[in-house]
Structure 1
Amino acid sequence: MTGRRIYLDNAATSFPKPEVVLQAMVRYSTELGASPGRGSYAESRQSAALLTRCRERLCELFGGASPSHVVFTLNCTDALNLAIHGTVDWWNEHRAGEPVHIVTTAMDHNSVLRPCSALLGRGVEVTRVGADTDGVVDPAAVIDAIRPTTRLVATVHASNVTGTLQDVGAVGRACRERGVPLLVDAAQSLGHVPVDVEAMGIDLLAFPGHKGLLGPLGTGGLYIRPGLEDRIAPVRQGGTGSRSERDTQPTEMPDRFESGSHNTLGIAGLLAGVEWLLERSVEAVRAHEAGLIGTFLKHFPGEGAGYRLHGPDDPNRRVGVFAAHA
């Protein structure tokens, strides 16, 4: 193949990464390389400080109240599984016999739908709210689906198929009024559009590190609103580098949910990606991408040429993910 190739698979993972991301990973590998929280020597302390700084910068990005409530995960799928299974496990352990109901939407990714489907055999009820032809889920329909037994509402922020942005804020405000936790899948939105967990009423924010945040594969996280961690059970137990004299999992955050050695190499790259993004501002990224979306929509051949594009035709109501068929 000759000529220049243009990478168009950023919905799967962003590429190429900023040079600073690669430099940060090389620097960690050659200058630190130590496991955080496993020793008192300088390199281990510096690795631990790197994790703390990444948590702080992530909170700066999405308005999180407590950096210690940023839990590092393998990816967004891992974060969503922790939120969903951890919530159900807590209810089954502490409120045995009480019904558990979860609300999802037709636009959710399989990383939400499949964990919920797996729970059906354990007596969990799941309601899936539909969407219109543009992939828009009516917030009122989500709110109407909430019952006294609803323990979790899960929704995607931006579709990985149609690019449709959902009105998460409207759902979040209603969930807060009803005392129901809201889990948001920000796989296609964080880093592309502004996200403020407090203003939008988001209790649990699941995100990948390798997409809009420009970090490497194998990184991600779950932000848990302070106070909610006590109603989510850890889904794995093991070494944390803290409270090692105990046989039981620590209750302190983030160790409650972080067992085993961290992907510190990947998190070094994630930190660099987040800082690169913050220096430029998500608002500037959004304005640039909205312009590109508008140009694409303007020049797309359309139904007159035998093609149908899915999702809204307003750049402000979508991200730069497109699906079409002939």
Structure 2
Amino acid sequence: MIYLDNAATTLVKPDLVKERLIENFDKIGNPSRGFNKISLDTGRMVLDTRIKLARLFNIKDPRRLAFTANATEALNIAISSFIGKNDHVITSLIEHNSVLRPLYLKEKEGAELSFVGLKEGKEGILDYEMIEGLVRKNTKALVISHASNVTGNITDLSIVSDFCKKHGLLLIVDAAQSAGLIDIDVEKYGIDVLCFTGHKALYGLTGTGGIYIKEGLNPRAIKVGGSGINSFDKDHPQAMPDALEAGTINAYGILSLNASLDFLNQTGLSNIRKKEKDLLTYFDKSLREIPNLTIYGDKDLDKRVGILAINPSKISANDLAQILAEKYHIATRAGAHCAPLCHNALGTEEAGLVRFSLSYFNSKEEIDEAIKALKEILGDDYDSNNI
């Protein structure tokens, strides 16, 4: 199979991840739940991973970073903790439902929402000039995706950071599509809350993710229970990271992140980004040679992660993705990608899109095969019923 659905989850992990998981498969216990060697070693590994993630994001105090099951859980924690029923929140039309649905729950409680729109055209570029006009007296926060999972467009954190600092707003960033691929410095950009997942460009297992919360902000735990400390207290510990890590954490998943972070450090974030951008440039150029194909996303590929979203005029997006999967064994994703407002803005709410998403582990040869398949499928003599 040619796997081009890495925005959903990366299929190919670094060899280091697989090797370390196998090597330690029967050496992972319940961290910080005992004085036995297995428990203590697992606890040290978890702490080591927390420190490595803190270095990746330039987080001064690793204790401000808690592990979660995914970016969705992290965003639910952030929005439920820091958005009140009388608050106004600015977000954008590129957001994933992991941002939108928690905000809609807050809206039902009385919170108000405003959306940064997109500029006209198929590029799906955020209209930053709108932001100033959205501020109200009760505006509390800006919640924004660092990179769109539909178009791959990268949000300019410098612009949104300056805006939030000017108005004293919380900056909550969804880094699901960017963590592990783009340099993220929470100090430089004044990010108050960073939410990320581990199974995409961080090359960890599914069921991993995390949240960074700036010193001085106290999160509301969405679950309480065992913590390994203060067991006689009726209340769950309030200090980070224990406040958000009730129960047995995903130690095997965290081990995968520990190894993948070593891979990222050895390879270099800039080298990973360069290879993915080279593949994106090659793929984009080849796609533009195919007629009757609409391509979405910023034409400046420096402002994109490795996502290419297209719509064919000859057949539906769903049919194209099905043919690619069943006849050519090429994995993509078609549909709304859990980002309904983005599709509404692009005018693709009915047709959807076919999304190709790249990884450091893809190759030009795989892209050549995908282009060859697209030319065959979209050619005048192709019978789409003959799958």
Instruction: State TM-score, norm by structure 2.
Output: 0.77
Contact 2:296 2:308 in 1 (8 A): yes
Q: Percent identity at matched positions?
A: 36
Structure 2: tracts of 5 or more residues without a match: 313-387
Between the aligned partners of 2:139 and 2:23, the Cα distance in structure 1 is: 47
The residue aligned with 1:69 is: 64
CA deviations 1:168-211 (Å, max 9, x no partner) are: 22111221232211111111111111111111221111111000
Supply the distance in 1 between the matched residues of 2:256 and 2:306 (Cα, whole angstroms).
Answer: 24
Structure 1 unaligned blocks of 5 or more: 93-98
How far off is 1:146 after superposition?
2.6
1:11 to 7, 18, 21: 7
Q: How far did residue 128 of structure 1 move?
A: 1.6
| Structure 1 segment 236-275 matched on structure 2, within 5 A | 236-275=223-262
Deviation at 1:291, TM superposition (A): 1.3
Equivalent residue pairs, number: 310
- Give the superposition deviation at 1:296: 1.5
Q: Alpha carbons of 1:236 and 1:146: their partners in 2 closer, same or farther (altered >3 Å)?
A: farther
Which amino acid in structure 2 is aligned with residue 159 of structure 1? S
SS of residue in 1 equivalent to 2:273? helix
Q: CA RMSD in A?
A: 1.5
In the alignment, residue 24 of structure 1 is paired with which amino acid? R
Deviation sequence 1:212-234 (CA, Å, 0-9, x none): 00000000001111222x2x322
When normalised by structure 1's length, the TM-score is 0.91
Verify: 1:296 aligned to 2:272, yes or no. Answer: no
2:135 and 2:200 map into 1 onto residues whose CA distance is 31
Cα deviation code 1:103-143 (max 9, x no counterpart)? 11000111101111122211111112211232221334234
Question: 1:4-43 counterparts in 2 under 5 A?
Answer: 5-30=1-26, 32-43=27-38
| Equivalent in the alignment of 1:314 | 300
| AA at the equivalent of 2:307 | V
CA separation in 2, counterparts of 1:123 and 1:244? 36
How far apart in 2 are the matches of 1:143 and 1:55? Answer: 36
Shift of residue 148, structure 1, vs aligned partner? 2.6
**1:111 aligns with one of 88, 98, 101:** 98
Between the aligned partners of 2:178 and 2:132, the Cα distance in structure 1 is 22
Which amino acid is 2:271 matched to? A
Match of 1:59 in 2: 54
Partners of 1:169 and 1:201 within 8 A in 2: no
Which deviates the most, 128-137 or 6-15?
Answer: 128-137
SS of the counterpart of 1:305?
coil
Find the aligned partners of 1:25 and 1:238 in 2 and give their Cα distance: 28
Residue identity in the other structure for 1:174: F
1:313 deviates by 1.4
Does the 8 A contact of 1:139 with 1:167 survive in 2?
A: no
Aligned-residue offset at 1:45: 1.1
- Match in the other structure for 2:164: 175
Contact 1:62 1:194 (C-alpha < 8 Å) held by counterparts: yes
SS where residue 183 of structure 1 aligns? Answer: strand
2:222 paired residue number = 235
Tell me which residue corresponds to 2:339. none
Q: Once the 2 structures are TM-superposed, how far is the Cα of residue 54 of structure 1 from its aligned partner?
A: 0.6
